[in-house]
Amino acid sequence: MIHVVGAGIAGSAAALALHAVGADVAVHEAHPDASTDAGAFLTLAENGMRALQAIGVDEAVRRASAPLRSMRVTDGSGTELASRPLGEPGGPGYRYLTRARLCAVLQDEVRRRGIPLHHGERLVATAGEDGRAVAVLADGTRLSGDLLIGADGLRSVVRTQLDPDAAPPRYVGSQIFYGTAPGTPPGTSTDRMQFVRSTATGSVAFGFIATEHAETWWFARVKGPELTPDQLAAGTTERWVALLSDALSAEPGPRAIVRAADRVLVTNAYDLADVRMWHRDHTMIIGDAAHAASPATGQGASMALEDAVALAEAIRDEDRIDAALAAYEERRRGPVEANTAASARM
Ligand SMILES: Cc1cc2nc3c(=O)[nH]c(=O)nc-3n(C[C@H](O)[C@H](O)[C@H](O)COP(=O)(O)OP(=O)(O)OC[C@H]3O[C@@H](n4cnc5c(N)ncnc54)[C@H](O)[C@@H]3O)c2cc1C
Protein backbone atom coordinates (compact mmCIF):
# COMPACT_ATOMS: atom_id res chain seq x y z
CA MET A 1 0.00 0.00 0.00
CA ILE A 2 1.19 3.51 -0.87
CA HIS A 3 -0.09 6.37 1.29
CA VAL A 4 -0.17 9.82 -0.30
CA VAL A 5 -0.40 12.76 2.10
CA GLY A 6 -2.09 15.79 0.54
CA ALA A 7 -4.77 15.82 -2.15
CA GLY A 8 -3.54 18.96 -3.89
CA ILE A 9 -2.24 18.89 -7.43
CA ALA A 10 0.81 16.70 -6.79
CA GLY A 11 -0.93 14.27 -4.43
CA SER A 12 -4.07 13.73 -6.49
CA ALA A 13 -2.07 13.36 -9.70
CA ALA A 14 0.37 10.95 -8.03
CA ALA A 15 -2.52 8.81 -6.80
CA LEU A 16 -3.94 8.63 -10.33
CA ALA A 17 -0.58 7.89 -11.93
CA LEU A 18 0.34 5.21 -9.37
CA HIS A 19 -3.07 3.58 -9.60
CA ALA A 20 -2.66 3.46 -13.39
CA VAL A 21 0.56 1.42 -13.02
CA GLY A 22 -1.16 -1.03 -10.69
CA ALA A 23 -0.22 0.33 -7.26
CA ASP A 24 -2.55 0.07 -4.29
CA VAL A 25 -2.86 3.68 -3.15
CA ALA A 26 -4.82 5.82 -0.67
CA VAL A 27 -4.85 9.60 -0.24
CA HIS A 28 -5.06 11.50 3.06
CA GLU A 29 -5.95 15.19 2.96
CA ALA A 30 -5.92 17.50 5.98
CA HIS A 31 -8.68 19.75 4.69
CA PRO A 32 -12.00 18.63 6.15
CA ASP A 33 -13.89 18.73 2.86
CA ALA A 34 -13.41 19.08 -0.87
CA SER A 35 -13.37 22.88 -0.67
CA THR A 36 -14.73 24.70 -3.69
CA ASP A 37 -13.21 28.06 -2.80
CA ALA A 38 -12.14 29.58 -6.11
CA GLY A 39 -8.64 30.52 -4.94
CA ALA A 40 -6.01 31.94 -7.24
CA PHE A 41 -5.81 31.07 -10.91
CA LEU A 42 -2.94 29.30 -12.54
CA THR A 43 -1.71 28.43 -15.98
CA LEU A 44 -0.89 24.94 -17.15
CA ALA A 45 2.00 24.87 -19.59
CA GLU A 46 2.42 22.20 -22.25
CA ASN A 47 4.59 19.99 -20.04
CA GLY A 48 1.78 19.97 -17.48
CA MET A 49 -0.82 19.17 -20.13
CA ARG A 50 1.33 16.28 -21.37
CA ALA A 51 1.52 14.92 -17.83
CA LEU A 52 -2.28 15.15 -17.57
CA GLN A 53 -2.53 13.24 -20.87
CA ALA A 54 -0.27 10.54 -19.46
CA ILE A 55 -2.65 10.00 -16.53
CA GLY A 56 -5.77 10.30 -18.69
CA VAL A 57 -7.23 13.46 -17.13
CA ASP A 58 -6.43 15.96 -19.86
CA GLU A 59 -9.94 15.94 -21.34
CA ALA A 60 -11.56 16.56 -17.96
CA VAL A 61 -9.13 19.42 -17.30
CA ARG A 62 -9.79 20.85 -20.77
CA ARG A 63 -13.50 20.94 -20.01
CA ALA A 64 -12.81 22.82 -16.76
CA SER A 65 -10.34 25.32 -18.22
CA ALA A 66 -9.84 27.71 -21.12
CA PRO A 67 -7.09 27.89 -23.73
CA LEU A 68 -4.25 30.38 -23.53
CA ARG A 69 -2.80 30.83 -27.00
CA SER A 70 -0.58 33.87 -26.74
CA MET A 71 1.09 36.34 -24.45
CA ARG A 72 1.44 40.03 -25.03
CA VAL A 73 3.47 42.66 -23.23
CA THR A 74 2.31 46.27 -23.25
CA ASP A 75 3.32 49.42 -21.48
CA GLY A 76 0.94 51.01 -19.01
CA SER A 77 -0.95 52.87 -21.72
CA GLY A 78 -1.60 49.70 -23.75
CA THR A 79 1.09 50.10 -26.43
CA GLU A 80 2.39 46.69 -27.46
CA LEU A 81 6.04 46.01 -26.64
CA ALA A 82 6.14 42.30 -27.51
CA SER A 83 3.89 39.35 -28.23
CA ARG A 84 4.31 35.68 -29.00
CA PRO A 85 2.25 32.53 -29.33
CA LEU A 86 2.26 30.06 -26.43
CA GLY A 87 2.95 26.41 -27.13
CA GLU A 88 4.47 24.42 -29.93
CA PRO A 89 2.65 23.71 -33.21
CA GLY A 90 0.71 20.47 -32.72
CA GLY A 91 1.29 20.56 -28.95
CA PRO A 92 -1.41 20.27 -26.29
CA GLY A 93 -1.45 24.03 -25.71
CA TYR A 94 -1.57 26.09 -22.52
CA ARG A 95 -4.69 26.31 -20.34
CA TYR A 96 -5.82 28.43 -17.40
CA LEU A 97 -8.19 27.77 -14.52
CA THR A 98 -8.32 28.24 -10.77
CA ARG A 99 -6.15 26.03 -8.59
CA ALA A 100 -9.26 24.87 -6.71
CA ARG A 101 -10.97 23.83 -9.96
CA LEU A 102 -7.91 21.83 -11.02
CA CYS A 103 -7.80 20.10 -7.63
CA ALA A 104 -11.53 19.36 -7.82
CA VAL A 105 -11.19 17.76 -11.26
CA LEU A 106 -8.26 15.63 -10.11
CA GLN A 107 -9.98 14.62 -6.87
CA ASP A 108 -13.20 13.71 -8.73
CA GLU A 109 -11.16 11.44 -10.96
CA VAL A 110 -9.41 9.88 -7.94
CA ARG A 111 -12.83 8.97 -6.51
CA ARG A 112 -14.20 7.86 -9.89
CA ARG A 113 -11.35 5.37 -10.22
CA GLY A 114 -12.14 3.97 -6.79
CA ILE A 115 -9.02 5.27 -5.04
CA PRO A 116 -9.72 5.95 -1.34
CA LEU A 117 -9.51 9.70 -0.64
CA HIS A 118 -9.94 10.69 3.01
CA HIS A 119 -10.52 14.30 4.00
CA GLY A 120 -9.88 15.60 7.51
CA GLU A 121 -6.78 13.40 7.95
CA ARG A 122 -3.81 15.55 8.93
CA LEU A 123 -0.36 13.97 9.13
CA VAL A 124 1.59 15.16 12.15
CA ALA A 125 4.61 12.84 12.09
CA THR A 126 6.24 10.01 10.20
CA ALA A 127 8.07 6.94 11.41
CA GLY A 128 9.87 3.99 9.88
CA GLU A 129 9.14 0.56 11.31
CA ASP A 130 10.44 -2.78 10.04
CA GLY A 131 11.21 -1.47 6.58
CA ARG A 132 7.81 0.17 6.25
CA ALA A 133 6.76 3.81 6.30
CA VAL A 134 4.33 4.98 8.96
CA ALA A 135 2.17 8.10 8.81
CA VAL A 136 0.95 9.35 12.17
CA LEU A 137 -2.28 11.33 11.91
CA ALA A 138 -3.50 14.06 14.26
CA ASP A 139 -6.00 11.69 15.92
CA GLY A 140 -3.21 9.20 16.67
CA THR A 141 -4.03 6.79 13.84
CA ARG A 142 -0.92 5.10 12.43
CA LEU A 143 -0.98 4.17 8.74
CA SER A 144 1.65 1.70 7.65
CA GLY A 145 2.66 1.31 4.02
CA ASP A 146 5.36 0.32 1.56
CA LEU A 147 5.79 3.98 0.65
CA LEU A 148 4.68 7.29 2.16
CA ILE A 149 4.54 10.20 -0.28
CA GLY A 150 4.48 13.69 1.20
CA ALA A 151 2.59 15.87 -1.29
CA ASP A 152 1.78 18.26 1.52
CA GLY A 153 2.88 21.51 -0.08
CA LEU A 154 5.19 24.38 0.81
CA ARG A 155 4.94 23.89 4.61
CA SER A 156 5.39 20.13 4.34
CA VAL A 157 5.48 18.22 7.61
CA VAL A 158 6.90 15.22 5.78
CA ARG A 159 9.88 17.32 4.60
CA THR A 160 10.80 18.34 8.14
CA GLN A 161 10.32 14.78 9.35
CA LEU A 162 12.68 13.56 6.63
CA ASP A 163 15.25 16.19 7.49
CA PRO A 164 14.77 18.24 10.68
CA ASP A 165 17.53 20.57 9.43
CA ALA A 166 15.77 21.30 6.13
CA ALA A 167 15.83 25.04 5.43
CA PRO A 168 12.42 26.70 5.81
CA PRO A 169 10.74 28.34 2.80
CA ARG A 170 12.63 31.44 1.65
CA TYR A 171 10.80 34.71 1.08
CA VAL A 172 11.75 35.84 -2.43
CA GLY A 173 10.98 39.53 -1.95
CA SER A 174 7.57 39.79 -3.61
CA GLN A 175 4.02 40.05 -2.39
CA ILE A 176 1.55 38.45 -4.80
CA PHE A 177 -1.92 39.89 -5.32
CA TYR A 178 -4.60 37.96 -7.19
CA GLY A 179 -7.87 39.61 -8.10
CA THR A 180 -11.00 39.20 -10.12
CA ALA A 181 -12.96 42.05 -11.61
CA PRO A 182 -16.31 41.90 -13.39
CA GLY A 183 -16.14 42.69 -17.10
CA THR A 184 -13.14 42.75 -19.40
CA PRO A 185 -11.18 45.64 -20.89
CA PRO A 186 -12.44 46.53 -24.39
CA GLY A 187 -10.73 44.80 -27.29
CA THR A 188 -9.08 42.07 -25.21
CA SER A 189 -9.03 38.47 -26.29
CA THR A 190 -9.91 35.62 -23.88
CA ASP A 191 -7.01 33.41 -24.93
CA ARG A 192 -4.22 35.83 -24.22
CA MET A 193 -2.16 36.52 -21.09
CA GLN A 194 -1.32 40.21 -21.02
CA PHE A 195 1.60 41.54 -19.07
CA VAL A 196 2.00 45.20 -18.37
CA ARG A 197 5.57 46.36 -18.03
CA SER A 198 5.42 49.09 -15.47
CA THR A 199 7.53 51.97 -16.72
CA ALA A 200 6.95 54.31 -13.82
CA THR A 201 6.89 51.81 -10.97
CA GLY A 202 9.50 49.18 -11.74
CA SER A 203 8.64 47.40 -8.51
CA VAL A 204 5.28 46.08 -9.76
CA ALA A 205 4.74 43.36 -12.36
CA PHE A 206 1.14 43.16 -13.53
CA GLY A 207 -0.68 40.68 -15.74
CA PHE A 208 -4.25 39.74 -16.60
CA ILE A 209 -6.49 37.47 -18.62
CA ALA A 210 -9.86 38.63 -19.92
CA THR A 211 -11.70 35.37 -19.28
CA GLU A 212 -14.53 33.70 -21.17
CA HIS A 213 -16.76 34.34 -18.14
CA ALA A 214 -16.67 38.10 -18.78
CA GLU A 215 -14.39 38.50 -15.79
CA THR A 216 -10.85 39.79 -15.65
CA TRP A 217 -8.42 37.65 -13.66
CA TRP A 218 -5.32 39.60 -12.73
CA PHE A 219 -2.21 39.36 -10.64
CA ALA A 220 0.33 41.87 -9.38
CA ARG A 221 3.77 40.99 -8.09
CA VAL A 222 4.93 43.77 -5.82
CA LYS A 223 8.51 43.97 -4.57
CA GLY A 224 8.59 44.73 -0.88
CA PRO A 225 8.95 43.32 2.62
CA GLU A 226 7.27 40.08 3.65
CA LEU A 227 3.72 40.73 4.84
CA THR A 228 3.21 39.64 8.43
CA PRO A 229 0.47 37.17 9.40
CA ASP A 230 -1.35 40.07 11.11
CA GLN A 231 -1.22 42.18 7.95
CA LEU A 232 -2.49 39.29 5.87
CA ALA A 233 -5.29 38.55 8.34
CA ALA A 234 -6.35 42.20 8.56
CA GLY A 235 -6.39 42.69 4.78
CA THR A 236 -9.71 43.29 3.04
CA THR A 237 -10.40 43.66 -0.66
CA GLU A 238 -10.86 47.41 -0.15
CA ARG A 239 -7.54 47.78 1.67
CA TRP A 240 -5.59 45.75 -0.86
CA VAL A 241 -7.16 47.65 -3.74
CA ALA A 242 -6.22 50.97 -2.11
CA LEU A 243 -2.65 49.82 -1.52
CA LEU A 244 -2.20 48.54 -5.07
CA SER A 245 -3.88 51.57 -6.62
CA ASP A 246 -1.22 53.71 -4.96
CA ALA A 247 1.58 51.48 -6.24
CA LEU A 248 0.07 51.63 -9.75
CA SER A 249 -0.79 55.33 -9.70
CA ALA A 250 1.23 55.97 -12.88
CA GLU A 251 -0.29 53.04 -14.78
CA PRO A 252 -3.86 53.85 -15.83
CA GLY A 253 -4.68 50.48 -17.44
CA PRO A 254 -3.71 48.19 -14.55
CA ARG A 255 -5.00 50.70 -12.02
CA ALA A 256 -8.48 50.66 -13.58
CA ILE A 257 -8.55 46.85 -13.51
CA VAL A 258 -7.44 46.75 -9.88
CA ARG A 259 -9.97 49.36 -8.82
CA ALA A 260 -12.78 47.28 -10.33
CA ALA A 261 -11.81 44.21 -8.25
CA ASP A 262 -14.53 42.41 -6.33
CA ARG A 263 -12.12 39.93 -4.74
CA VAL A 264 -8.41 40.07 -3.92
CA LEU A 265 -6.20 37.36 -2.45
CA VAL A 266 -2.75 38.21 -1.16
CA THR A 267 0.19 36.01 -0.33
CA ASN A 268 3.94 36.26 0.08
CA ALA A 269 6.04 34.52 -2.56
CA TYR A 270 8.35 31.80 -1.22
CA ASP A 271 10.54 29.15 -2.67
CA LEU A 272 12.57 26.16 -1.56
CA ALA A 273 15.85 26.50 -3.36
CA ASP A 274 17.82 23.70 -1.76
CA VAL A 275 15.96 20.73 -0.32
CA ARG A 276 18.73 18.18 -0.02
CA MET A 277 16.72 15.19 1.12
CA TRP A 278 13.81 14.11 -1.07
CA HIS A 279 13.57 10.60 0.29
CA ARG A 280 14.78 8.37 3.08
CA ASP A 281 13.90 4.72 3.58
CA HIS A 282 10.29 4.46 2.43
CA THR A 283 9.27 8.10 2.78
CA MET A 284 9.54 10.80 0.11
CA ILE A 285 8.31 14.25 -0.93
CA ILE A 286 7.03 15.56 -4.28
CA GLY A 287 5.55 18.78 -5.66
CA ASP A 288 5.86 21.98 -3.66
CA ALA A 289 6.90 19.97 -0.61
CA ALA A 290 10.17 19.20 -2.40
CA HIS A 291 10.71 22.12 -4.74
CA ALA A 292 8.34 25.07 -4.41
CA ALA A 293 9.23 27.87 -6.80
CA SER A 294 8.12 31.48 -6.69
CA PRO A 295 5.21 31.85 -9.11
CA ALA A 296 7.00 33.94 -11.77
CA THR A 297 7.55 31.15 -14.32
CA GLY A 298 4.04 29.75 -13.78
CA GLN A 299 5.41 26.20 -13.66
CA GLY A 300 4.56 24.98 -10.14
CA ALA A 301 1.45 23.01 -11.06
CA SER A 302 2.97 21.66 -14.27
CA MET A 303 6.07 20.52 -12.38
CA ALA A 304 3.89 18.82 -9.73
CA LEU A 305 2.04 16.95 -12.48
CA GLU A 306 5.30 15.89 -14.10
CA ASP A 307 6.52 14.63 -10.71
CA ALA A 308 3.47 12.37 -10.47
CA VAL A 309 4.09 10.77 -13.85
CA ALA A 310 7.84 10.38 -13.29
CA LEU A 311 7.30 8.76 -9.90
CA ALA A 312 4.74 6.26 -11.21
CA GLU A 313 7.05 5.32 -14.09
CA ALA A 314 9.95 4.80 -11.69
CA ILE A 315 7.82 2.60 -9.43
CA ARG A 316 6.64 0.64 -12.48
CA ASP A 317 10.13 0.18 -13.91
CA GLU A 318 12.19 -0.61 -10.81
CA ASP A 319 11.95 -3.75 -8.69
CA ARG A 320 12.79 -2.07 -5.39
CA ILE A 321 11.37 1.08 -3.79
CA ASP A 322 14.82 2.51 -3.02
CA ALA A 323 15.91 2.09 -6.64
CA ALA A 324 12.66 3.70 -7.84
CA LEU A 325 13.11 6.71 -5.56
CA ALA A 326 16.72 7.16 -6.67
CA ALA A 327 15.69 6.95 -10.34
CA TYR A 328 12.89 9.42 -9.72
CA GLU A 329 15.22 11.93 -8.06
CA GLU A 330 17.79 11.53 -10.82
CA ARG A 331 15.14 12.38 -13.42
CA ARG A 332 13.44 15.27 -11.61
CA ARG A 333 16.12 17.26 -9.76
CA GLY A 334 17.54 18.99 -12.82
CA PRO A 335 14.27 20.37 -14.27
CA VAL A 336 12.73 21.47 -10.98
CA GLU A 337 15.87 23.16 -9.67
CA ALA A 338 16.32 24.97 -12.99
CA ASN A 339 12.74 26.22 -12.71
CA THR A 340 13.15 27.38 -9.11
CA ALA A 341 16.32 29.28 -10.03
CA ALA A 342 14.73 30.82 -13.15
CA SER A 343 11.66 31.91 -11.21
CA ALA A 344 13.78 33.49 -8.47
CA ARG A 345 15.63 35.58 -11.08
CA MET A 346 12.43 37.01 -12.59
C1 LIG B 1 0.40 32.80 -5.75
C2 LIG B 1 0.72 31.57 -6.52
C3 LIG B 1 0.49 31.53 -7.91
C4 LIG B 1 0.79 30.39 -8.65
N5 LIG B 1 0.57 30.37 -10.02
C6 LIG B 1 0.89 29.27 -10.72
C7 LIG B 1 0.71 29.18 -12.16
O8 LIG B 1 0.24 30.09 -12.82
N9 LIG B 1 1.04 28.02 -12.79
C10 LIG B 1 1.53 26.97 -12.09
O11 LIG B 1 1.82 25.94 -12.70
N12 LIG B 1 1.71 27.02 -10.74
C13 LIG B 1 1.40 28.13 -10.05
N14 LIG B 1 1.59 28.18 -8.70
C15 LIG B 1 2.17 27.04 -8.02
C16 LIG B 1 1.17 25.96 -7.76
O17 LIG B 1 -0.01 26.45 -7.16
C18 LIG B 1 1.86 24.97 -6.85
O19 LIG B 1 3.12 24.67 -7.37
C20 LIG B 1 1.03 23.73 -6.76
O21 LIG B 1 -0.21 24.03 -6.16
C22 LIG B 1 1.76 22.69 -5.93
O23 LIG B 1 0.94 21.60 -5.74
P24 LIG B 1 1.18 20.63 -4.51
O25 LIG B 1 0.13 19.59 -4.65
O26 LIG B 1 2.60 20.25 -4.44
O27 LIG B 1 0.92 21.52 -3.22
P28 LIG B 1 -0.43 22.18 -2.73
O29 LIG B 1 -1.26 22.60 -3.89
O30 LIG B 1 -0.05 23.19 -1.71
O31 LIG B 1 -1.22 20.98 -2.01
C32 LIG B 1 -0.82 20.45 -0.77
C33 LIG B 1 -2.01 19.71 -0.17
O34 LIG B 1 -1.58 19.05 1.00
C35 LIG B 1 -2.51 19.28 2.04
N36 LIG B 1 -1.77 19.18 3.30
C37 LIG B 1 -0.86 20.07 3.79
N38 LIG B 1 -0.36 19.63 4.95
C39 LIG B 1 -0.95 18.44 5.20
C40 LIG B 1 -0.82 17.49 6.27
N41 LIG B 1 0.01 17.70 7.29
N42 LIG B 1 -1.57 16.36 6.22
C43 LIG B 1 -2.42 16.14 5.17
N44 LIG B 1 -2.57 17.01 4.14
C45 LIG B 1 -1.84 18.14 4.15
C46 LIG B 1 -3.05 20.66 1.75
O47 LIG B 1 -4.30 20.89 2.38
C48 LIG B 1 -3.14 20.63 0.23
O49 LIG B 1 -4.37 20.10 -0.21
C50 LIG B 1 1.31 29.29 -7.97
C51 LIG B 1 1.52 29.32 -6.57
C52 LIG B 1 1.24 30.46 -5.87
C53 LIG B 1 1.47 30.50 -4.36
Please write down the HEC assignment for all residues of the chain: CEEEECCCHHHHHHHHHHHHCCCCEEEEECCCCCCCCCCCEEEECHHHHHHHHHCCCHHHHHHHCEEECEEEEEECCCCEEEEEECCCCCCCCEEEEEHHHHHHHHHHHHHHCCCCEEECCCEEEEEEECCEEEEEECCCCEEEECEEEECCCCCCHHHHHHCCCCCCCEEEEEEEEEEEEECCCCCCCCCEEEEEECCCCCCEEEEEEECCCCEEEEEEEEECCCCCHHHHHHCCHHHHHHHHHHHCCCCHHHHHHHHCCCEEEEEEEEECCCCCCCEECCEEECCHHHHCCCHHHCCHHHHHHHHHHHHHHHHHHCCCHHHHHHHHHHHHHHHHHHHHHHHHHC
Residue ending a domain, among 213, 238, 271, is 271
- Judge if the beta carbon of residue 302 lies within 6 A of ligand 1: yes
pLDDT-flagged residues of the chain (< 50)? none
Ligand 1 atom with the smallest distance to the CA of 301 is 11
Cα 300 to ligand 1 centre (Å): 8
Instruction: Check whether residue 113 and residue 123 sit in a common domain.
Output: yes
Which of 27, 37, 42, 96, when mutated, tests ligand 1's pocket best, judged by the most ligand atoms within 8 Å of its CB? Answer: 42
Which of 288, 294, 332, 346, when mutated, tests ligand 1's pocket best, judged by the most ligand atoms within 8 Å of its CB? Answer: 288
Instruction: Check whether residue 199 and residue 264 sit in a common domain.
Output: yes
Residue ending a domain, among 211, 241, 271, is 271
pLDDT of residue 298: 86
Instruction: Check whether residue 246 and residue 279 sit in a common domain.
Output: no
pLDDT of residue 199: 63
pLDDT of residue 295: 86
Instruction: Check whether residue 123 and residue 267 sit in a common domain.
Output: no
Residue 85 lies in a domain: no
Residue 83 lies in a domain: no
Instruction: Check whether residue 184 and residue 44 sit in a common domain.
Output: no
Name the residue at shortest CA distance from atom 52 of ligand 1: 295
**Number of domains the chain is built from:** 2
- Judge if the beta carbon of residue 95 lies within 6 A of ligand 1: no
Instruction: Check whether residue 192 and residue 282 sit in a common domain.
Output: no
Instruction: Check whether residue 283 and residue 263 sit in a common domain.
Output: no
Residue ending a domain, among 271, 299, 327, is 271
Residue 86 lies in a domain: no
Residue 58 lies in a domain: yes
The CATH number covering residue 244 comes to: 3.30.9.30
Residue 81 lies in a domain: no
Instruction: Check whether residue 53 and residue 8 sit in a common domain.
Output: yes
Ligand 1 atom with the smallest distance to the CA of 12 is 25
Ligand 1 atom with the smallest distance to the CA of 42 is 8
Which of 3, 12, 27, 29, when mutated, tests ligand 1's pocket best, judged by the most ligand atoms within 8 Å of its CB? Answer: 29
Which of 152, 284, 299, when mutated, tests ligand 1's pocket best, judged by the most ligand atoms within 8 Å of its CB? Answer: 152
- Judge if the beta carbon of residue 65 lies within 6 A of ligand 1: no
Ligand 1 atom with the smallest distance to the CA of 99 is 17
pLDDT of residue 36: 56
Instruction: Check whether residue 160 and residue 235 sit in a common domain.
Output: no
Residue 197 lies in a domain: yes
Percent of the chain with pLDDT over 90: 77
Residue 316 lies in a domain: yes
Instruction: Check whether residue 202 and residue 299 sit in a common domain.
Output: no
Domain limits at 220? 171-271
Cα 8 to ligand 1 centre (Å): 6
The CATH number covering residue 139 comes to: 3.50.50.60
Instruction: Check whether residue 301 and residue 219 sit in a common domain.
Output: no
Residue 77 lies in a domain: no
pLDDT of residue 124: 98
Instruction: Check whether residue 215 and residue 314 sit in a common domain.
Output: no
